[in-house]
């Protein structure tokens, strides 16, 4: 085989591998809502808006941007298990889209990763069972490092939920974005809203 022919074969091989990689990593289709009327943000202190001034938490910012009321069901200190224990509060509000942001307190309390993500899976199942769409929002893994990123991504693929990875990426440790070591301030919440907004708009549009 000539050098030119060999080089051409290599280029073809690279192209084939590239196509295979793009096919394998293509985003999983999302399960869009088929019922419900309410948009709900469900989670812990990050949802509640601890560290922000009135009206500057990401939930309020998203509500203003899209022009639709968003119910804030964030409770400071909640773990994924706590969220699961009050999932009926969410379902009673006729949800159409639920933003699920839990897991940060699990890392602080060193809840086993398997338990955290089993609870999150149960939450997603309950929400989707009534025809609502889920936007799963990831948080840093803390003691568990990058394992959290993988578990959130797997959960999103499994349930075909919209996924916003590591909502605090680039914020923690930067004084201009943080009210304390774990809670963003107004500026940080604006960035959080920026990251969630595209997924929320897509979910509400049903992928159109």
The whole-angstrom separation of Cα 159 and Cα 169 is 24
Q: Is residue 12 part of a domain?
A: no
103 CB-near residues (< 8 Å, 6+ apart): 80, 116, 120, 138, 139, 148, 152
Note down pLDDT in tens along the chain; length 208 residues: 444 443 343 333 333 333 333 333 335 699 999 999 999 999 999 999 999 999 999 999 999 999 999 999 999 999 999 999 999 999 999 999 999 999 999 999 999 999 999 999 999 999 999 999 999 999 999 989 899 999 999 999 999 999 999 999 999 999 999 999 999 999 999 999 999 999 999 999 996 7
Q: Is residue 3 part of a domain?
A: no
How many independent structural domains does the chain possess?
1
Q: Is residue 161 part of a domain?
A: yes
Domain that holds residue 100: 30-205
Q: Is residue 51 part of a domain?
A: yes
16 CB-near residues (< 8 Å, 6+ apart): none
Half-sphere exposure of 176 (CA within 13 A, CB side): 3
Q: Is residue 23 part of a domain?
A: no
Q: What is the CATH number of the domain that holds 144?
A: 3.40.50.1110
pTM attached to this predicted model: 0.86
């Amino acid at each position: 085989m000539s050098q030119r022919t060999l080089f051409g074969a290599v280029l073809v091989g690279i192209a084939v591998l590239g196509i295979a990689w793009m096919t394998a990593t293509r985003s999983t289709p999302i399960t869009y809502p088929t019922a419900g009327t309410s948009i709900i943000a469900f989670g812990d202190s990050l949802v509640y808006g601890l560290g922000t001034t009135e009206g500057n938490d990401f939930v309020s910012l998203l509500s203003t941007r899209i022009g639709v009321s968003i119910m804030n069901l964030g409770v400071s200190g909640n773990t994924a298990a706590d969220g699961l224990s009050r999932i009926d509060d969410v379902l009673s509000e006729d949800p159409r889209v639920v933003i699920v942001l839990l897991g940060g307190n699990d890392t602080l309390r060193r809840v086993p990763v398997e338990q955290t993500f089993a609870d999150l899976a149960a939450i997603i199942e309950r929400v989707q069972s009534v025809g609502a769409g889920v936007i799963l929002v990831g948080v840093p893994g803390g003691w568990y490092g990058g394992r959290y990123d993988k578990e959130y991504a797997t959960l999103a693929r499994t349930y075909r939920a919209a996924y916003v990875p590591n909502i605090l990426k680039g914020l923690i440790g930067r004084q201009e974005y943080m009210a304390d070591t774990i809670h963003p301030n107004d500026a940080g919440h604006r960035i959080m809203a920026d990251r969630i907004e595209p997924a929320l708009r897509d979910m509400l549009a049903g992928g159109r």
